[in-house]
A and B are shown apart, each in its own frame.
Chain A
Amino acid sequence: MSKLSHYVESAGAILLAIIWISPLLFAFWAAFHSTSDAVNFNITSAWTLDNFRTAWEGAPWLKYFLNTFLLVTIVLIGQFFFTTLAGFAFAKLEFPGKNFVFILVLMQLFILPEVLIVENYAMVSRLGLFDSLFGVGMPYMASAFGIFLMRQSFKSVPIELHEAARIEGCGLLGILWRVYVPLAKPTYLAYALVSVSTHWNNFLWPLIVTNSPDTRPLTVGLSIFGAPENGVDISIISAATMMSVAPLLIAFLVFQRQFVQAFLRAGIK
């Protein structure tokens, strides 16, 4: 009986996995075949790289890649800076209204970013950052999730280490930099992973706040490339999609083990 249920569970898991990955597999397969072969599902048809050539020439991909890369870097640096300082303050400093402010920060976690789009748009425009990478990244820098994560991580640092550093002559920022930040390394790595993949894939906000090829990230570029007014060509769109997701996918496959370990270590502490 238990053996049977074991098989059923395994089969269910495998089925789910197949359903989950099938669009990606199809896109991958379509990207390497001509449009008619892809649409008619000719399994035996010949492989080709023409789609990639056409797609590459169809849009300023290099610029898009660079934009996305810069965007996730700017967001990550900003997030590290703000969440470290805020997390440290919430974890280790005493100031009036600390708990109230922390609850406000946590409440931000309940609000969908999409709800804030109009307000963020107005704010970014007022700051004169419309249609700039900095403007795309800025609303995400003081991340509530990041602040919470850093606070938890800093809270777990034994107070003796803090005191030892104080006696050895460290100032507050010195202690943060020399003791807390190095000890929170696994948390930083796990958080970076989440942040990079989120902002690599982010679409709606960049679509709204950018309007020139110079600032457009990959996701927006891809959607414009695949828009119906350009004529729908499944194979070419698939090729473009493959190009867009490749860097992140390859990076994850290569560093899979380290990523999982970082998550585990950040979680256990």
Chain B
Amino acid sequence: MSTKPFVVLKDVAKRWNGQLGVENISLEIEEGSFVALLGPSGCGKSTSLRLLAGLEIPDEGKVFIDGADVTTSAASDRNLSMVFQSYALFPHLSVAENVIFGLKVRRVPKVERNEKMQRALKITGLEGLEGRKPGELSGGQRQRVALARAIVAGQRLCLMDEPLSNLDAKLRSSVRKDIKKLQRDLGITVVYVTHDQTEAMSMADKVVLMKDGRIQQIGSPNELYSNPENTFVAEFIGAPAMALMDSYLIDGIKNGNKIGIRAENITIVPEGKGRLSCSVTEAEFLGSETLIGLEHEGTTGLNVLQPGLSIVPSGQRIDITFDDQDLHIFNSAGDRINGQ
């Protein structure tokens, strides 16, 4: 597809009193895609979203939406909708009034307003709750009202700021599917902020991983998982994350480099036949498999997965091996240097 990107952030920076907000953010988003901004708290992902929404104005750089330069436009002129972490429902308005709030502000005729509201309520499964106040709804229902409000106007771009973080774990996974389905059915572009990599990896077409106000890597979930561009990405993505080893542990690696390896690429071998001999620190039963934590000088986060229940007492010695082709090699600055 060679279509022009729908949303473009170009060298955007935002600072607060000299403190770093975000720096050098460049990002292109295709129409109809689902993009997740992922990162630990304080990494600038929410700031990036707010810059896109027009709730903050960047100090440097430009923002384009649908070809138009909206860098300094008001939030209301950007033709987008937003779902807030706290949902930001108006407590004094009923569900129906909350959903049509924007339509009313924009003076959409009443008949059309009601039609759109009915459609949005149907899509989000809120029929029959029109008259309730947000205070009388459950967390999941409130979340759906926020979604209904975001889709009712038919804006092509929808921003979501950690919309699932106030839901319990079970509801979260079902709502995750609902949001993904909604996005596909309506063909809207979604920019989704989250600190939860499961959400980002399972929903997004494209993940933008951020740290300290800078983008670390942009790519499909698979690219981030199997080709991390630096050690931060390697240690952030995946559960368990990638293990890192010092170069002296393996022959033929330049001194000072770091070697990354994923738990599923490590196998346990009989004593004396492995490339490393480690001691077990803990064993965590996950259901279908058991995650065994290992310890060895010069390594961090070394784990191995065993099928089924396979508890190994801590302190026991285990020999492990792995193929050279599964190794990810990073230079001393942490950047990837092998097999792009």
Contact = CB atoms under 8 A, between A and B. Distances in A.
Interface in A153-186: 158, 160-161, 163-171, 174, 178-179, 182-183, 185
Contacts of B101: 165, 168, 178
A178 B105 contact: yes
SS of A interface (majority): helix
Nearest to B85: A160
B74 A161 contact: no
A32 B88 CA distance: 58
Contacts of B86: 158, 160
A167 B76 CA distance: 5
Contacts of B53: 163, 167
B90 A174 contact: no
Contacts of B81: 167-168
Contacts of B88: 158, 160-161, 163-164
B84 A164 contact: yes
Interface in A123-180: 158, 160-161, 163-171, 174, 178-179
B contact patch SS? loop
B61 interface: no
A182 B92 contact: yes
A163 B55 contact: yes
A203 B139 CA distance: 53
Contact of A167 (B75, B85, B91): B75
With most chain B CB atoms within 10 A of its CB, the pick from A161, A169, A174, A183 is A169
B102 interface: yes
Contacts of B75: 163, 166-167
B82 interface: yes
B170 interface: no
A185 B90 CA distance: 14
B92 A167 contact: no
A163 B146 CA distance: 14
Nearest to A168: B102
Contact of B105 (A169, A182, A183): A169
A172 to B, nearest CB: 10
B147 interface: no
B131 to A, nearest CB: 17
Interface string A177-214: 01100110100000000000000000000000000000
Best-surrounded residue of B75, B86, B149 (most CB of chain A within 10 A): B75
Interface in B78-101: 80-82, 84-86, 88, 90-93, 101
B105 A170 contact: yes
Contact of A166 (B74, B85, B106, B149): B74
A169 B92 contact: no
B109 to A, nearest CB: 16
A165 B53 CA distance: 12
B76 A179 contact: no
Given A165-B101, A168-B105, A183-B92, 4 more contacts: A166-B76, A167-B80, A168-B102, A171-B76
13 contacts: A161-B88, A163-B53, A163-B82, A163-B84, A164-B82, A165-B90, A166-B74, A167-B53, A167-B75, A167-B82, A168-B105, A169-B105, A174-B105
Going nearest first, the 7 A-B pairs with the smallest beta carbon separation are: A168-B102, A160-B88, A164-B88, A169-B76, A182-B92, A166-B75, A169-B105
